[in-house]
């Protein structure tokens, strides 16, 4: 009887010690097979790095500083294009934080590859007078015309987190963890709106008559 009472606490002690010695799981690529490492697209040093300011005619100034891209208001479009090697390839997710500091139109025109590097679209945040959100273009229709479009109110100088999930047959978009787009694109015609925005391909950021700041730009591969 006494031996049994003594044996149970020893088992409990051994269990606690074993749990305490078990290594903790780590976040990121080491946490599991379905997780991938985030890749930052911001310059690692002062200057433009792998980014190039675009000549639209009447564009404002652009600059990177401490991981934040500032796009100054221009007559129409102002933006930059990425020329580096770490170009996202579907399926992937990509995110950025953006805010409008002045102006009345889109403060994030996010051009990016979808099915492949030659097939690109633009995610618009705050377009058509300041509130339209969506992808341009699907079957030749802009964000203001296709089913990805919605109207959102944005406050000046407030940061918004934009996250996009790009797959070869679907597109999703969140702003501040609120899902706004979930569309099946199988058999649909995807592409850019005709005009100057094509200069942002395959990966670029632009504004329309608006000054904006963007930070935290990064992407990671997703499992098929």
Residue extents of the structural domains in the chain: 29-221
pLDDT for 191 beyond 50: yes
* CA dihedral sign, ordered 100, 101, 104, 110: negative
- The fold for domain 29-221 equals Jelly Rolls (2.60.120)
CA-to-CA separations, 28 to 31, 41, 58, 153, in angstroms, rounded: 6, 17, 42, 33
Q: Residue 50, Cα to own-chain centre: how many angstroms?
A: 17
Residues contacting residue 198 through CB under 8 Å, at least 6 positions apart: 192
Q: Does the reported pTM lie above 0.75?
A: yes
Q: Per the structure block, which two tokens stand in for 106?
A: 């889109």
State the Cα–Cα distance between residues 94 and 11, nearest whole angstrom: 49
Mean pLDDT of the chain: 88
C-alpha–C-alpha distance, residues 221 and 219, integer Å: 7
Region 78-106: what's the mean pLDDT?
96
**What local confidence, expressed as pLDDT, does residue 19 receive?**
37
Residue 35: per-residue pLDDT: 61
Taking 50 as the threshold, does the pLDDT of residue 74 lie above it? yes
Please count the other Cβ atoms lying within 10 Å of the Cβ belonging to residue 45.
Answer: 7
Q: Tell me what the mean pLDDT of segment 184-197 comes to.
A: 97
Question: pLDDT band at residue 86, thresholds of 50, 70 and 90?
Answer: confident
Q: Which DSSP symbol is given to 23?
A: P
Across 171-200, average pLDDT: 97
């Amino acid at each position: 009887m006494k031996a049994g009472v003594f044996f149970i606490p020893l088992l409990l002690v051994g269990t606690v010690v074993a749990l305490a010695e078990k290594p903790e799981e780590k976040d990121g690529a080491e946490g599991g097979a379905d997780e991938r490492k985030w890749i930052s697209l911001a310059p690692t040093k002062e200057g433009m790095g792998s980014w190039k300011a675009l000549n639209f005619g009447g564009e404002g100034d652009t600059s990177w500083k401490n991981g934040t891209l500032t796009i100054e208001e221009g007559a129409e479009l102002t933006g930059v294009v990425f020329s580096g090697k770490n170009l996202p390839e579907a399926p992937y997710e990509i995110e950025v934080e953006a805010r409008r500091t002045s102006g009345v139109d889109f403060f994030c025109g996010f051009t990016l590859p979808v099915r492949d590097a030659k097939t690109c679209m633009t995610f618009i945040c705050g377009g058509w007078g300041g509130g339209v959100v969506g992808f341009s273009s699907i079957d030749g229709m802009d964000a203001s015309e296709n089913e990805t479009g919605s109207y959102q109110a944005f406050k000046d100088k407030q940061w918004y987190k934009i996250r996009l999930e790009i797959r070869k047959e679907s597109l999703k978009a969140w702003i501040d963890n609120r899902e706004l787009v979930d569309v099946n694109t199988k058999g649909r015609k995807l592409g850019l709106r005709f005009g100057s925005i094509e200069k942002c391909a395959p990966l670029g950021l632009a504004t329309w008559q608006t000054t904006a700041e963007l930070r935290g730009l990064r992407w990671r591969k997703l499992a098929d």
